[in-house]
Structure 1
Amino acid sequence: MKKTLILLLPALALLQIGCRSHRPVQPEFEQLAIDTLLERRGADCRIEYRFATIRNTSESAALQAIETANIGYFFQVEAFEGNAAQAAELAIREIDTTLLADVQPTQTYEISIESEGHASDTLATYVITRSSYTGGAHGIYGIEYHTYSLKSGLEITTGDLFTESQAERLDEVIRKKICETYHVTTDDELSELGFFPEYIGATENFLIDDRGITFFYNPYEIGCYALGGIEVTLTREELSAL
C-alpha cells in the first residue's frame, strides 16, 4: 500500500472525524456458517467455520478487494478468486488430504475459526480467531487483526503508519513496555520468563482504535506457549512522542 497515511495519529483521527460528505461505502457484514465432520480410519475431525462475509461487495470495488483478502486470510488460501463457500470447500479438501492422511485411530481433532468485522467511517477492521487441536500435547489458538482503508480497499501496514525512524523507536518502546509489565530490565531476564527477546518488535498484527494502537502476539511469536497471547498497547500520547 502506498504511504498515504505516513503517521498514525492522522489515521486515528479518521476513526472519529472522517469527511461525512465523502464517506466511503460501509461494509454490511453477515455470517456464513459451515460445520463439517471428516472421518477416516476411526478418527474424526470437526471443522467449524464462522466467516464474516461482506454482503454488499457489489457496491464498491474496495469492499470486493477487502472481501477477497479476508477470504484468503480466513481460509488460508492464496491467490483465490472464488467466494467464501468455494474457499471453504478447498480448505476442507486440503485438511482431508493432509491432516487426516496420518491420523491416530479413535483420535478426535478440532478446527474452529471465527471472524467478525467492524467499520468506522474510513477504516474497516477484520478479526479472525483460531482454535484447533490437530495432535500433540495441547491445542493452539491465535487472533489476527487486519485493518483496511474503505476508500482504496488496501490493507494498512506499519509501513503506512510510521516513518523508518519512528519504527526504530517503536520497537524500543514495545520492548520497554513488555519489560515494565513483567518487571524485568534485561534480555536475560526476559528469556528466563520464556520470551524470545530477539523477536520482540512491532508486528503487523495490530488493532487501531480510539485508545491508540495495540500490537498482538500469538503464542510462540515472541515467547513460549505458557506466556499465552501478549498485548502491547501504545496510547495516543505515547505515539505522539515517537
Structure 2
Amino acid sequence: AAQVQFPDWESSEDSEDYFSFYKTLNSQVIFDRGGIISYQTSSMDFKGGANSSTFYKNVNIDLKTGNVITEKDIFIPEYKKLLNTMLTDKIIAQNNVKTAEDLLEFGYWGIEDIAANNNFSIDDKGITYLFNQGEYSAPSLGTIKVPFTYSELYPILKDNSPISSFSGK
C-alpha cells in the first residue's frame, strides 16, 4: 500500500522513519523524603519530527495517610486567584519580559489566564508546576516548568499541611 501511495519513496529525501510511530511510557520517583513521594509519569508520542510530543503528570502522595496531595491540601481556601497571578508573574520573569503580552512573540499564549492545574511536584525546596506542551504555548516550546520556593508560596500555604515539615508553616 505504501508503494502505491508513495511510488517515488526511495528517491525522495525523506528519512526511513517517516512512517514510524511509537509511544513510550515512563515513570519515576522524583522525590522521596519526609513522608512525601513525588512521582512523575511521562508519555512520549513519536510521530516523526515536529509532530512528536511528551505529556507529564505529577502525583504527590502523603505516605502517612496514603492520600494523593492536591492543591486544596496545601493551600488556603482562597489560594487560586493569587496562585494564578504568581504563575503568570513567574513565567514573565523567567522570560525576562515586562508583560504577559510580551510573551506572544516567544510562542506563549493565554499566560495572563493561566490556571493552577494540580500538576505539580513537591520537594524539600518548593513546588514546581508543569504545563504540558501546547497547553499555553506553541508545542515547540515544550513543557513549561514553573518552580516556586516555599518562601514565595508562604502567604497561601495552609498551616499543618502534609508539606509543613518542608514549608515551615
* TM-score, scaled relative to structure 1: 0.52
Give 2:43's aligned residue.
130
Give the Cα–Cα distance (whole angstroms) in 1 for the partners of residues 113 and 19 of structure 2. Answer: 35
Q: 2:139 aligns with which of 220, 225, 228?
A: 225
Unaligned runs of 5+ in 1: 1-40, 43-105
RMSD: 2.3
Give 2:149's aligned residue.
235
Give 1:184's aligned residue.
97
Indicate if the aligned counterparts of 1:158 and 1:204 stay in contact, CA closer than 8 A: yes
Indicate if the aligned counterparts of 1:199 and 1:221 stay in contact, CA closer than 8 A: no
Q: Give the Å deviation of 1:137.
A: 4.5
Indicate if the aligned counterparts of 2:22 and 2:45 stay in contact, CA closer than 8 A: yes
User: 1:148 aligned to 2:51?
Assistant: no
Give the Cα–Cα distance (whole angstroms) in 2 for the partners of residues 147 and 230 of structure 1. Answer: 19
Q: How many pairs does the alignment contain?
A: 139
Indicate if the aligned counterparts of 1:199 and 1:222 stay in contact, CA closer than 8 A: no
Unaligned runs of 5+ in 2: 3-17, 157-169
Matches within 5 A, 1:150-229: 150-197=63-110, 199-229=113-143
Q: Give the Å deviation of 1:123.
A: 1.7
Indicate if the aligned counterparts of 2:131 and 2:143 stay in contact, CA closer than 8 A: yes
User: 1:113 aligned to 2:25?
Assistant: yes
Q: Which amino acid in 1 is paired with 2:41? A: I
Q: Which amino acid in 2 is paired with 1:215? A: Y
* TM-score, scaled relative to structure 2: 0.72
Q: Which amino acid in 2 is paired with 1:115? A: S
Q: Give the Å deviation of 1:176.
A: 0.6
Higher helix share: 1
Give the Cα–Cα distance (whole angstroms) in 2 for the partners of residues 158 and 200 of structure 1. Answer: 15
Give the Cα–Cα distance (whole angstroms) in 2 for the partners of residues 137 and 167 of structure 1. Answer: 34
